[in-house]
Amino acid sequence: MLNLDQLRIFQAVAQSLSFTRAAGMVNLTQPGISKHVKQMEEHFGVPLFDRLGKRVAITPAGEILLQATQEIMALVETAEQRIQDLKGLQGGRLRIGSSFPVGVYMLPRVLAEFRHKFPAVEVALEISVSHSIQGKVLANEVDLGLVSHDPHDSRLQSHAFMSDELVAIFPIHHPWRGKHRIAPQDLAGETFIVAARGAGTRTVVEERLKAQGIVLENVLDFGNLEGVKHAVEAGLGVSIQARSVVRRETADGILQSLPLAGMEAKVDYLYIRLKNKHLSNAARAFLEVLSGSAARS
- Is residue 107 within 8 A of residue 119, CB to CB? The reply is no
Kindly give, in sequence order, each residue whose CB lies less than 8 Å from that of residue 91, ignoring residues fewer than 6 positions away.
84, 120, 121
Confidence of residue 86 (pLDDT cuts 50, 70, 90): low
pLDDT of residue 113: 95
Q: What's the pLDDT tens digit per position in 26-54?
A: 889 999 999 999 999 999 999 999 988 77
H helix or E strand, kind and range, residue 281: helix 281-296
Mean pLDDT of 244-270: 93
Confidence of residue 137 (pLDDT cuts 50, 70, 90): very high
Q: What's the pLDDT tens digit per position in 203-216?
A: 999 899 888 888 88
pLDDT of residue 12: 92
pLDDT of residue 295: 81
- Is residue 48 within 8 A of residue 59, CB to CB? The reply is yes
pLDDT surpassing 90 at residue 279: no
Residue among 190, 255, 185, 180 nearest 225 (CA): 255
Measured CA to CA, the distance from residue 113 to residue 17 in angstroms comes to 38
pLDDT of residue 93: 83
pLDDT surpassing 80 at residue 89: no
How far lies 87's CA from each of 106, 130, 247, in Å? Answer: 29, 33, 41
Domains in the chain with CATH codes: 4-70 (1.10.10.10), 83-161+268-296 (3.40.190.10), 164-266 (3.40.190.10)
What percent of the chain has pLDDT above 90? 56
pLDDT surpassing 90 at residue 278: no
How far lies 204's CA from each of 190, 255, 283, in Å? Answer: 19, 22, 27
- Is residue 133 within 8 A of residue 97, CB to CB? The reply is yes
- Is residue 181 within 8 A of residue 259, CB to CB? The reply is yes
